[in-house]
Amino acid sequence: MSDAITLAGPGGHPRTLPVPVTEAGNVDVAGLVRVFAVCGALYLGIYALEAPARYGLYLAGQDSLILLRDGLILGPLLALCMAHAAQLRLHPVMAAFGIAMGFHGLVLMGTMGSPLGVAYGVKVLVNLLFGFFVAALFVAPGGRVLRFFALMWAVIMIGICLDKAGMAFPWTGMRTMVGDLNVDVSKDWQISDPFARRVAGFTRSSIAVAAILPCLTIVLMGRLRSVLARACLALPALVGVFLTTQKGSLIAFLPVAALLCLPAGLRLTGLRAAFLGFLLLAAGLPLFTHGLHLDHGDGVFSMESLYLRIAYTWPDAWDWIARHQMLVFGVGLGGLGGPQRLYAPDAFNPADNIAVLLFAWFGLFAVIYAALAVRLALRPVTGDVRRVEAAVAILAFAAGYGVVLSVVEDQAACLFLGAALGTLWRETVPAGPALRPAGPRHAPDIMEAKDDDQPAFAASTGRGQLRSRRF
């Protein structure tokens, strides 16, 4: 299948530009579709088993080799860029991403003078770009990718249960060195109460579990037609998130999972409302709670963590931004959060809110970027409705968890966020014969997924059809 964009040529005569794309993703080079699927799946697999992977590297004295996994993201993107260059073209999203990273990176160079901070920021957001290209290959997968996601979901759940049951993993409390940075693996919080103890299982931290498990569950729920089957899948996932004691993830995931169990006619409207509500809450809470005193108790299930954000984290973040921002452009790419550990370790602030982090990185441009995401989520559906539901559900969860966490700094969450945006870009294209996707309005169920190839697509260059393989 191929899309076509019609432009006015010289003399007012229309001309058509071919924009070939796969049925499920935005990778428009047939030979790279499988590469993106395999590399993305391996990357998420390493993420799900990061604790034992880092432990093995620690025993070998090669902690920094964990950075090689970034090649699974950068390699396919570089190959796609080279394939486009060989055809004397450049994907518009690739160009827009490069321009944005260059501009906001220059802002950080002007404010903090740290090229390493810029590199860290690019490393974080390149997952967003990769996710955009895999799109529905990960949001509404089929075949082997679907089975791999189901296996990964099961492994994560097993790890959580074993950790909560008291199994002593050898990597618990381990600290590794990557360059000059200390990286805690399955941090031991010294909590004696087994019920309140934070668990990470086979991932690096409880936050990692709370970020990837809901995303995987949303994807798998989207492949089930039965409401009962969806509920049976969501319930253990909610219990798993509860066991991590990550309240923000639980509060964000609970309404999203409930909305996915509604009748088909109500799901999309409810998910869009949840996305907008969580986004407004993420933007408004750090602003309107400034100076607020919040009564709280003690323990992991108290309001103490929210109080610490209101009383210390967010005010300190606003103060940092006010002292270092460049006009309306913020501090620059990597101007708050993790990148600070490279150029201002004594002033490190985790942000703990997606709106605060994005404003520090992009200034008022953060409002524009958020508005673009909202526009994609609200556009009329011209493609597969169930893919759009899963994509909006991921956006809603990310916005909800982003109320209390800089969720884009998590590798898996950022990748799924990009995949959701890429899916919406494909499935909500403005209606028209040239731009309307030709696929079915409903993706096949999880029980209907097969290993055979997806429908073929063809560029309108007259070179014949290119088959889109499903990994």
Tens of pLDDT, residue by residue over 392-415, are 999 999 999 999 999 999 999 999
Residue 417, domain member (yes or no): yes
State which residues form the domain around 382: 23-139+266-448
For the chain, the helix, strand and coil percentages under 3-state DSSP, each to the nearest 5: 60, 5, 35
Query: Residue 174 forms beta bridges with which residues?
Result: 185
Residue 368, domain member (yes or no): yes
Residue 397, domain member (yes or no): yes
The mean-pLDDT minimum among 144-153, 258-267, 283-292, 310-319 falls in 283-292
What pLDDT shows up at residue 168? 84
Average pLDDT, the chain: 86
> For residues 17 and 74, which has the higher predicted lDDT (pLDDT)?
74
Query: Residue 4 forms beta bridges with which residues?
Result: 18
Residue 148, domain member (yes or no): no
Residue 270, domain member (yes or no): yes
CB 413 within 8 A of CB 215: yes
Tens of pLDDT, residue by residue over 169-217, are 899 888 888 877 888 887 766 565 666 778 899 999 999 999 999 999 9
Residue 215, domain member (yes or no): no
Residue 442 DSSP one-character state: S
Residue 353 DSSP one-character state: S
Those residues whose C-beta lies under 8 Å from the C-beta of residue 125, and which sit 6 or more positions away, are 97, 101, 333, 408, 414
The predicted model gives 323-334 an average pLDDT of 96
Number of domains forming the structure of the chain: 1
Dist. CA 370–CA 35, nearest whole Å: 30
CB 209 within 8 A of CB 160: yes
Residue 48, domain member (yes or no): yes
Three-class SS state of 263: coil
Residue 316, domain member (yes or no): yes
CB 446 within 8 A of CB 224: yes
User: In terms of pTM, does the model score above 0.75?
Assistant: yes
